[in-house]
Homo-oligomer: A and B are copies of this chain.
Amino acid sequence: MRTEAEYRDMIQRSLEPQLQSLGAVPEQLMDAMRYSLLAGGKRLRPVMLLASCDMAGGSLEEAMPYACALEMIHTYSLIHDDLPGMDNDDLRRGKPTNHKVFGEGLAILAGDGLLNGAMELALGASTRMAERRGILATEILARHAGVTGMIAGQTLDVTMENSTPTEALVSYIHTHKTSDLIQAPMEMGLILAGCGPAQIEQGRVYGEHMGIAFQIVDDLLDVTGDPAVLGKNTGMDARKMTWVALRGMEGARRDAETHIDAAVAALKKLPWDTAFFENMARASLDRMN
């Protein structure tokens, strides 16, 4: 296995050629997609996918289109979230948001293009694979990104803005909005590596708890974080259903710890050296952005 930075470098180098592999895309559309996709960020989701495939003995080269597809779907969701009709944010990863640079029309299409392009990459890779691993991984990706997954969480986030936070609702939004795409990568990586259902299930449990912990920490950072380090405005979620609004700062931090512990417990049931993912789980509690 490699370090997180090494996986991240591999992904950074692959995003542009993977985009290019889509074919003759109109220049302005490609510019708008590239602007947000290459804006940086932790690349947490694709790193998790590559690392879990690697841990289980799979091929990194084979996993790369799926890793890039995952990051493209994450990026499209940010572009659409930032639109005036949704959160109306003007800063993301320290840069002006997509619609501030390219206009609303092109930002909508860049988001659509990244989602559709992600599917094109994953489907292309899956048709080149003799076994069914590829299409099963693609189905997992689509399900987690979809209307019972990430888009469900975004919907509640938009429609429930002025409601009273309840544990059930906040938990639902958290499970879906962020967690779904963090839940998918280990499951996808283990499927691509050809693992059996018992191992895939532990990967799913790890992802589920990591996802919830990750969103809780996001909520904490929205209160305590430094906009310059975060690369986005803080205090934006004050009016919304957040874990902090429900449980307070202390309670939210304790909940995050509980989920990290559960994630690490799932790792213990896997037959490989899981130090990489244990470290990632522990570190996620203390991240600054």
A positions within 8 Å CB-CB of B: 22-26, 28-30, 33, 76, 80, 83-86, 99, 103-109, 111-113, 115-117, 119-120, 123-124, 126-127, 132, 135-136, 138-139, 142-143, 145-148, 151-152, 154-156, 158-159
Contact A29 B108 (CB under 8 A): no
For this chain, the copies found in one complex come to 2
Question: Which residues of B have CB within 8 Å of A135?
Answer: 123, 126-127, 135
Question: Which residues of B have CB within 8 Å of A119?
Answer: 119, 142, 146
Question: Which residues of B have CB within 8 Å of A29?
Answer: 147, 151-152, 155
Contact A22 B159 (CB under 8 A): no
How many angstroms between the C-alpha atoms of A113 and B143 in the bound complex? 11
How many angstroms between the C-alpha atoms of A173 and B85 in the bound complex? 27
Main SS of chain A's interface residues? helix
> For residue A121, which residue of chain B has the nearest CB?
B142
> For residue A30, which residue of chain B has the nearest CB?
B147
How many angstroms between the C-alpha atoms of A146 and B121 in the bound complex? 11
Pick from B113, B123, B155: contact of A106, CB below 8 A: B155
CB distance from A21 to the nearest CB of B (A): 11
**What are 28 A-B pairs with beta-carbon distances under 8 A?**
A22-B146, A24-B152, A25-B147, A25-B152, A26-B147, A26-B156, A28-B159, A30-B147, A80-B109, A83-B85, A84-B85, A85-B104, A85-B108, A86-B108, A105-B158, A106-B158, A108-B108, A109-B154, A111-B112, A113-B155, A116-B146, A119-B142, A120-B139, A123-B139, A124-B139, A126-B135, A127-B132, A135-B135
